[in-house]
Every structure is written in C-alpha cells, then in structure tokens.
Amino acid sequence: MRERLGVAAVVVALCAGAAAAQASVWEAVWRSEDALERVSVVGRARTMSVAGQRTAVARVRAAKGKVRLDYEAGRHRWSLVDNGRELIVLYPMRQEALVHPRPRLAVDRKLAERNYEARKVSGGEVAGRAVDAIEIVPRGGGPAAVRVWLDRETGFALKRERYNVEGNLTTGTEYVEVEYGAAVPGEVFLVPQTWRRMPSDGRGPRVSTAELSRVIGFEVKEPKHAPPGYVLLGGHAREWGRGGMRVAELRYTDGLRVLSVFEREKGEWMGKGGGRGGRHEGRHRSGGTGGGRGRGTGGRHGRGGGFGFGPAGGEKMTLVERGTEKALRYLGREMVVVVVGDVTAEELMRVAKSVE
Amino acid sequence: MSKCDLIRDRLSEYAVGGLRGRMRARVEAHVGECAGCRAELKALERTGALLDSLETQDAPEGTWEAVRERVLARPRERARVRPRWAWAMSTVALVVVVAVAAVVMVPRPVERPVVVAAAAADEEMQMTMDDHLSTVWAAPLSDMAAVGLRMAALEENG
Amino acid sequence: MSEERDKVKELVARARAGEVDAFEALYRAHQGGIYTFLRGQVRDAEVAADLTQDTFVRAWESLARLREAGAFRGWLYQIARNLVLDEAKSGRVRLEVPASVVSSEENPSVLERATEGDGPEERLASAELKEEVWRALESLPAAQREAVVMHHVEGMGTAEIAKVMGVRPGTVMSRLARAREALREKLGGYVEVSDE
C-alpha cells in the first residue's frame, strides 16, 4: 500500500513538474511577445511568405512596443510601421502612406494555453546568439502551428515559422543581424509630413453582436457553429468604398489563429448607395450566358460569370486558398457570408452555412 | 456630407448613363447650378470621350494562318444529322443510363465550392482576405515581418 | 444593322457546315476586337496573340453548339474571357497588376506634357496620349478593364456585356462608372476643363 502511494506521489509530482515546465515554456513565449516593451531592437531579418511566393530582407527598428520594417525585395521598396495606434504601409517611390487603424485583439493568453501546448525542442544559434527553440502544437492533435527561436538572454524571438492547419510552412522570418538597446528616434514611426496619407476604410470600435446589428442596420447573426476551440472576440461595423457598403465583421480566435466572419445583406456589391437595395442576386444564377446560347460553348466555356470576377456573381459557394488562409463565400437566403481563416475548407463551409 | 459630396458620388454613374428617375433629375438640377460639379462632370465626360477614341488593334500577322492550320488539322464536332428513330432510341437509352447512374452512383448531392485562384479572386474576396490579414498582424505570435510582406504585396495588387 | 446581323448568321451557318472561308470572314470581322480585349486583360502582346488563336480554334470546334447564330460576338468574347480565366487560374498570367509597375513616376508622362501647349483636338489625336490612356486602363481591376474595353472600344451595349460576364446589366453599369471615376483621376489635369 505504502509502495503504491509512493508511486502515485511520484506520478503526481512528475505531472506537476511537467505542468510547471509547460507553464514556464508558455511564460517564455509570452515574455518574447512583450520583449519589445522592455528592450529596443535594431537588426536585419530575412522574411518569406510561401503563400505569396515572396521573399524580402527587412531592416527592423523597434522600441517601446512600436515597430518599423523597411523592406527590400528586388527593385521594390516599402516600409511598414506599427505605432500602436496605426498600421501604416509607406511607399517611398510614391511618397504615399496607407493608414489602417491598428487592429486590437484582446486575446486571452489562457485560451492559447488551453488549445495549444508549448514545448521546448532544442537549442542552437541565430544571428550569432544562443537560442532555445519552442514548438507550439494543438492539444487536439495535428501538426505544429508555430516554431519560435528565442534569444536565451533577452527572450526576443529571433526566428519564427508559421504553419497552416495542413502542416505546411506558410511564412518564416529569421534575423541575420541584431543589436539590443540601440537608440531609435521616434520619428521613424511617423508618416513624413509632406507625404500623402490615405486612410483605409473605417472600422468601428469593437462591439457586441446585438450592438453591431443596431449600428449596421441589419440583423447580424452569429454562426451557430464555430471551429473547435474558437471563441468570439467581438464584432466591428465596416464601411467599404465610397458608397459605404455596410459589412459586419465578427472575429473569432483559438488563442493563436484568427477567423473572420463577414456578413452583408444581399444586393449589389459596393453598388453606390445600393448595398442594401432591393435587387437580389440570389435568384440571379448565372449558368452560362442565359438566352438561347446558354450552353453554347459546352462544359468548358459555358460557365458564365461568378467564377472570379463578379463579386457574388451567382456561385453558391466560392473558395479561395491563399496558402496561409482560405476564404469561403456563401450566398445564403438573405445574407452573403464570407469566412476567412486558417481552418479546413470543410470547417469554413460549416461556419458559413450555420449563419442563417 | 455636403450636397456636392452626395452628388459627386453619383456623377460617374450619371456620366455612364446609369441613373434614372429622381436621382437623375437631382443630379441634373444640381449640376445646372453648381460650377464645381459641372466641371467634374465635364471631366468625366471627357474621360469617356477619350476612351471612345481608342481603337481596336489587329492581331499580329500570321494569326489567321495559324488558326487555319489548326482548324484544318483537327476533327471537329458537327451537328450530326440522324434519322428520327435513332434520336428517339438514343434519348431513351440516355434517360435509362442517367437514371441508373443517379440511383447507383450519387447517393446524395454534395455541395461543393467553386475554387478560384487567389490571383483571380474578385474584389469582395480580396477585400475580406486583406482585412483578415491586418487582423492576423495583431494576433498572438504573428510573424509580423512576413505579414507585412504580404500586406504590401496585396496593397500593390489592389 | 439587321443586315449585318443576317450576314453574321449566314457566315455562321456556312462555317458550321464546314466552310473555312466563311469562318475566315468571321475571323476578319472579330479578330481586332478579340485581340484588343485579350491584350487589355493579359497585358502581354504575345500571350494575347496566342489566346486569340486559341479563341478562334475553340470557336470553330464548338460552333455546332452555338444555338443562336446572331449572338456570335458575345459567345466569342465569352470563350476569350474563359481562356483568360483558365490562364489566371493556372498562374500563367496575372490579371491584377502591382501599382508600382504601372506608376510612371520615373518619366514625365505624356499627360503632363500634353497639357502644356496643345489644343484639345491635337491632344485627342495624339497617339502617344492614347498609349497613355491604355496604360491608365491597365491599372484598373480586371473586371472593370474588361467592361471598359468591351463597351468603349468594341462598342458593345451593357446588356450584351452582362451576358458575356454572367452578371446583371446594373453590375456592368456600376463597373463602368467606377472605371470612369478611377480613369478620370488618373488622367488628371488632362480631362479637367478650366473654361467653365
């Protein structure tokens, strides 16, 4: 009996130890997320997107939670600034700045810890610094979502790889040079005074779904199905284009990945003032060209519109895969729903169809 | 929003002949009394005139010869003429085959999305994906440098 | 008008029966429009020439299934359009162009030079200016570009374009309006009238 108790105690102790180790790995991950609040960073990083088949070298300057990246890719130059309030894309050739409000995601870190396991896998060296490699894996099974290599001394992430749900590498960034504690002048996080500022389409504050319905003028419905582990973060009212197309955006997260659900009323896409007009595209099923030559060109050519060009041009469901995320548009009875995220196409369909 | 702003939003639609009824009358009335909007409408109309002045360009020489060669080289579907009874027989046979196939092979219709390449995605799909990407930027453990790479790529495409 | 329509019907009927000469007449009548349309979409003369060939070969092959001979033109544009989409899907052509490629900030544009001294007639006639208008067109989204070329260059009505694109005429109209707006902005000082 005593022996048994002893074994149990050892097991409990081991489990507790494992849990503690887990917690400390997650702690290291979160510490790396906050590293820029503590230390300024100047460096150069190679970055690539498998999805967009693009690579670039970026000069990084970061301090007090603000980041500036100056990219060089072939003959293209552009910069990206996150100053905490705005997300700005700077185009030096055109002297133009595209200014987006910086999205705020109040993600509960415990949610990520519930859905994913963080484990230390190995050590090594990146940009001449000793690092620890950490892998973040879904607890429900499946391939790793993220791998990060953290500077042993500062906790800063010097290398990062993201994988999609299918386990394919989608993006990666690795520092080749890094210097901590250097002075970064505040103006690098601003748009130069003489440049043209182009604000992006507005995004309202985060509100509840009920409030969103009130603001937006139609009933916004939460999908009855969300992918396992995902919770609703909140909704935003959007106005797109000069005609003010009204779109409701609901954001979900599993702590690491995000899922966006866009809803609008059926009608002319971006039609000026007609976004909510009476013309309904649902009945407009574009099989071929209508009229006498509906099947004129046979299977291959009789497809008509709605396969890429005409927004909501009649296809019941349209799927676009961009490597990292997929987007699915579903034409419901009264609503058009677009779901975007890094989940399987089947999940996207389930979410989209569960709205109405 | 001032009256001019409201009218200007509809001017291009007016210029292409896309406005009817009251809205059309409103635009016309306003343009009649507002020099600024009148000038803007003229600019839009001149743009239209410029577009109308564009001409088609001929395909490079030799294109017809190439088409002809290919056309003569391959067999082609013809509207075949067959006796009536043959039509009737083949229609019956087809109906039977389709009916059997429907029962045996297709237990339930499965709804499938039409897959579209990212490059050919329409404006709505592009906008929602771009928007999603700016959200991803702020997500935990996002690879900001790579997201920025993609955001700029998208901006350029836009 | 209807005389021309009848002529097309007759040519289609003869081509259907296997007369290559009749098909050649159809080719002669439509090659310019199709090539221009394709060039506008794929922005590459060589690819456009290849696709022009493909369009007519496909048309020949499936002529038997064209039910309404009078709708030949729209049907031909639909074939061309689908070929473009196939190319885009397979990644061989890009329909949307990065803004940096079409911006002409490195060299002063014809537009800037044109506004300096020429009278409006001279400006309208300028081949260089037309070139510039084409360039401005190239920067539009593909859906607007195709509507503009079919409407302004080929002279098709919105109903016919709508059939080709598989959308409603209202959608074509709004694409034309948005294109007009964007082009007006791009063509800037040139289309502005000061003598109001």
Q: Dump the DSSP string for A173-203.
A: EEEEEEEES----GGGGS--TTSEEEEPPPB
Considering chain B, what is the average pLDDT of its residues?
Answer: 77
Residues A171 and A222 in one domain: no
Distance CA C105, CA C24 (A): 44
- Residue with tokens 């709004």, as numbered in its chain: C174
**A31: region left, alpha or beta (phi > 0 left; psi from -120 to 50 alpha):** alpha
Q: Per the structure, how many domains does chain B have?
A: 2
Q: Per the structure, how many domains does chain A have?
A: 2
Using only C-alpha atoms, chain B has a radius of gyration, in whole angstroms, of 29
Name the closest residue on chain A to residue C76, using Cα atoms: A297
Nearest-Cα distance to chain C for B9, in Å, is 10
Determine, yes or no, domain membership for A4. Answer: no
Cβ separation B136–A109 shorter than 8 A: no
Distance CA C134, CA B13 (A): 22
Residues of chain C contacting B56 with CB distance shorter than 8 Å: 32-33, 35-36, 153-154
Determine, yes or no, domain membership for C94. Answer: no
Residues A210 and A348 in one domain: yes
Residue C132: band (very low, low, confident or very high) from pLDDT cuts 50, 70, 90: confident
Determine, yes or no, domain membership for C28. Answer: yes
Q: Is the pLDDT of residue A278 over 50?
A: no
Residue A243: band (very low, low, confident or very high) from pLDDT cuts 50, 70, 90: low
A206 exposure class (CB count in 10 Å sphere: 0-12, 13-18, 19+):
middle
Distance CA A136, CA B95 (A): 56
ipTM of the modeled complex? 0.83
Top residue of A77, A171, A252 to mutate, by most chain B CBs within 10 Å, is A171
Determine, yes or no, domain membership for A18. Answer: no
Residues A253 and A268 in one domain: yes
Residues C71 and C105 in one domain: no
Q: Are B158 and B150 in contact (CB under 8 A)?
A: no
Distance CA C133, CA B105 (A): 55
Distance CA C12, CA C30 (A): 13
Distance CA C185, CA A258 (A): 37
User: Following DSSP, what letter does each residue of A234-263 receive, concatenated?
Assistant: EEEEEEETTTTEEEEEEEEESSSSEEEEEE
Single out the residue in C58, C89, C120 at which a domain terminates. C89
Q: Give CA separation, A221 vs A32, A241, A262, in Å.
A: 37, 23, 10
Structural domain harbouring C8: 2-89
DSSP letter for A205, please. Answer: P
Q: Give CA separation, C122 vs B54, B73, C117, in Å.
A: 15, 49, 10
Q: Are A343 and A165 in contact (CB under 8 A)?
A: yes
Name A86's bridge partners: A101
On whether any CB of chain C is under 8 Å from the CB of A141, the answer is no
Determine, yes or no, domain membership for C34. Answer: yes
Residues 6+ apart with CB under 8 A from A29: A118, A134, A136, A148, A150, B141
Structural domain harbouring B152: 120-157
Residues A52 and A167 in one domain: yes
Point out the residue among A76, A288, A293 whose CB comes nearest to the CB of C100. Answer: A76
pLDDT tens by residue, A47-92? 988 766 678 899 999 998 899 999 988 777 889 999 888 889 888 8
Single out the residue in C44, C71, C89 at which a domain terminates. C89
Residues C16 and C72 in one domain: yes
Residues C44 and C124 in one domain: no
Q: Are B14 and B48 in contact (CB under 8 A)?
A: no
Q: What pLDDT sits at residue A292?
A: 30
Amino acid in position C169? P
Q: Is the pLDDT of residue A284 over 50?
A: no
Q: Is the pLDDT of residue A274 over 70?
A: no
Q: What pLDDT sits at residue A180?
A: 94
Point out the residue among B64, B78, B156 whose CB comes nearest to the CB of C100. Answer: B156
Residues of chain C contacting A298 with CB distance shorter than 8 Å: 62, 65
CATH number at residue C66: 1.10.1740.10
Query: What strand order describes the sheet that includes A41-49?
Result: A116-126, A129-138, A146-151, A157-163, A169-180, A41-49, A54-63, A66-73, A76-82, A86-91, A96-101, A196-199
Top residue of A280, A284, A289 to mutate, by most chain C CBs within 10 Å, is A289
Residues A164 and A267 in one domain: no
Q: Is the pLDDT of residue A271 over 60?
A: no
Determine, yes or no, domain membership for A74. Answer: yes
pLDDT tens by residue, B69-98? 888 876 554 443 343 444 555 566 666 666
Residue B116: band (very low, low, confident or very high) from pLDDT cuts 50, 70, 90: confident
Structural domain harbouring A146: 32-197
Q: What pLDDT sits at residue C104?
A: 37
Q: Is the pLDDT of residue A6 over 70?
A: no
Q: What pLDDT sits at residue C176?
A: 94
Query: What strand order describes the sheet that includes A231-240?
Result: A231-240, A245-253, A258-265, A335-341, A326-331, A317-321, B114-116
Single out the residue in C33, C66, C89 at which a domain terminates. C89
Q: Name which of A283-292, A326-335, B105-114 the model is least confident about.
A: A283-292
On whether any CB of chain C is under 8 Å from the CB of B147, the answer is no
Residue A202: band (very low, low, confident or very high) from pLDDT cuts 50, 70, 90: low
Nearest-Cα distance to chain A for B123, in Å, is 6
Q: Is the pLDDT of residue C122 over 70?
A: no
Q: What pLDDT sits at residue A148?
A: 96
